[in-house]
Amino acid sequence: MGRFVNIAIDGPAGAGKSTVAKLLAEKLGYIYVDTGAMYRAVTLQALMDKIDMGDEKNLTRIAESVDLAFKVDETGNTRIFLNGFDVSQQIRTPEVSRNVSLVSRVPGVRRKMTRLQRELGAAGGVVMEGRDIGTQVLPEAEMKFFLTASVEERARRRHAELIQRGFAVSYAEVLEDIARRDEIDSHRALAPLKPASDAEIIDCTGMTAQQVVDTIAARVSGRIN
């Protein structure tokens, strides 16, 4: 391919951003950055420290003090490390999912995570996914996409993922959690969830992850070649 660009992928919970971004990065030979994992890691630390999710001062302190790092394992999967420990599985528990939107809306937490994310994207050649990548983190990204799907479809996907991982949760619980996270993410005062003005919106209801990847890859190829 030609020159390297930054690709921003945003969207609500359960839209398939992580899967699509990872596959896209592999296809293009880019670096994959899961910003949601960073907020989840901070949330995990707050839960372990038994911090009240309304205590913005202590949540900010945790965000400023934790050491976060991404590493690629021998199978090519990206792992996230919190203070030197691999927490890639722990951050995907239902308890972390229920609380991550409460943590990510804290201004001090977002400021710290945004600084780290911009550093990761400084060299280009990054596929970065989250809630505010195209609007706040990498507003100058050459390619921006906003993935969405019906709330029922997103809940179905997330429920299947959790069941596969061994968590005993009902579809109704996941649907309620997804709807609650949508409400929090879309109405927070700082960096609310919304498409960037120059983002291409892709409704992936009924689409496979590979179909979405191929759609985005074709757009990127047409832009840089």
User: Is 76 annotated as contributing to ligand binding?
Assistant: no
The Cα–Cα gap between 44 and 82 comes to 9
User: Is 197 annotated as contributing to ligand binding?
Assistant: no
Q: What share of the chain is helix, strand, coil (3-state, %, to 5)?
A: 50, 15, 30
The Cα–Cα gap between 35 and 17 comes to 11
Token digits for 97?
A: 């999912």
Give CA separation, 20 vs 109, 124, 168, 202, in Å: 26, 19, 26, 12
User: Is 12 annotated as contributing to ligand binding?
Assistant: yes
User: Is 19 annotated as contributing to ligand binding?
Assistant: yes
User: Is 50 annotated as contributing to ligand binding?
Assistant: no
User: Is 13 annotated as contributing to ligand binding?
Assistant: yes
User: Is 21 annotated as contributing to ligand binding?
Assistant: no
The Cα–Cα gap between 148 and 96 comes to 22
The Cα–Cα gap between 129 and 147 comes to 10
Number of continuous H segments (helices) and E segments (strands) in the chain = 8, 8
* Residue partners of 168: CB distance under 8 A and separation at least 6: none
Annotated binding site: 11-19
Annotated binding site for ATP: 11-19
